[in-house]
Amino acid sequence: MKFSVSGRAAAVCAASTLSAVMLLTNGSTAGAAPAGAPSTAAAAPDISVANVKAHLAQLQSIATANGGNRAHGSTGYKASLDYVKAKLDAAGFTTTVQQFTSSGRTGYNLVADWPGGDANRVLMVGSHLDSVSAGPGINDNGSGSAAILETALAVSRAGYQPAKHLRFAWWGAEELGMVGSRSYVNGLSSANRSKISGYLNFDMIGSPNPGYFVYDDDPTIQNTFQDYFTGLGVSTEPETEGDGRSDHAPFKNAGVPVGGLFSGADYIKTTAQATKWGGTSGRAFDACYHSSCDKTTNISDTALDRNGDAIAYAVWKLSA
175 binds Ca ion (CB under 5 A): no
Q: 141 preceded by cis ω (within 30°)? A: yes
Site membership for Ca ion, residue 46 (CB under 5 A):
yes
Residues 101-160 touching ligand TRP, rule: CB under 6 A, are: 140-141
Name the active-site residue from 174, 237, 239, 241.
Answer: 174
Q: Check residue 47 for interaction with Ca ion (CB under 5 A).
A: yes
Q: Is 174 a catalytic residue?
A: yes
**240 binding ligand TRP? (CB under 6 A):** no
**Where does 42-163 show beta strands of DSSP type E?**
94-102, 105-114, 118-128
Query: Among candidates 214, 200, 133, which has minimal Cα distance to 171?
Result: 200
**Identity of the residue, 140 or 309, whose beta carbon is nearer to Zn ion in the bound complex:** 140
Give the closest residue to 114 by CA, choosing from 170, 154, 171, 152: 152
Minimal distance, residue 68 CB to ligand TRP, in Å: 17
Coil, strand, or helix at residue 99? strand
Q: Does 301 bind Ca ion (CB under 5 A)?
A: no
Residues 164-183: x where in contact with ligand TRP by CB under 6 A, - otherwise, as a string: ----------xx--------
Q: Is the Cβ of residue 89 or residue 140 nearer to Zn ion in the bound state? A: 140
CB 311, min distance to Ca ion, A? 10
> What's the rounded Cα separation, in Å, for the pair 68 and 4?
37
Binding mask 184-213 for ligand TRP (x = CB under 6 A): -------------------xx---------
Position 28: which residue type?
S
User: What is the rounded distance in angstroms from the CA atom of residue 46 to the CA atom of residue 157?
Assistant: 12
Which range touches Zn ion (CB under 5 A), out of 152-160, 196-204, 233-241, 289-297?
Answer: 196-204
Q: Interface with Ca ion includes 150 (CB under 5 A)?
A: no
Q: Is 143 an interacting residue with respect to Zn ion (CB under 5 A)?
A: no
Of 8, 193, 245, 276, the residue at the interface with ligand TRP (CB under 6 A) is 245
* Closest to 184 in 3D by CA, of 106, 108, 105: 108
> Binding of ligand TRP at residue 294 (CB under 6 A)?
no
When binding is defined by CB under 5 A, the residue of 89, 113, 140, 305 that contacts Zn ion is: 140
**Residues 33 and 40 sit within 8 Å (Cβ to Cβ):** yes
Q: Considering only the C-alpha atoms of the chain, give the largest distance between any 2 of them, rounded to a whole number of Å.
A: 59
DSSP string for residues in 250-286: HHHHTT--EEEEE--SSSBPPHHHHHHH-S-TTSBS-
- In 129-195 the beta strands, taken as DSSP E runs, fall at 164-171
- At 98, give phi and psi (nearest 5°): -110, 130
Q: By the criterion CB under 5 A, which residues form the site for Ca ion? A: 46-47, 305, 309
Residues with catalytic function: 174
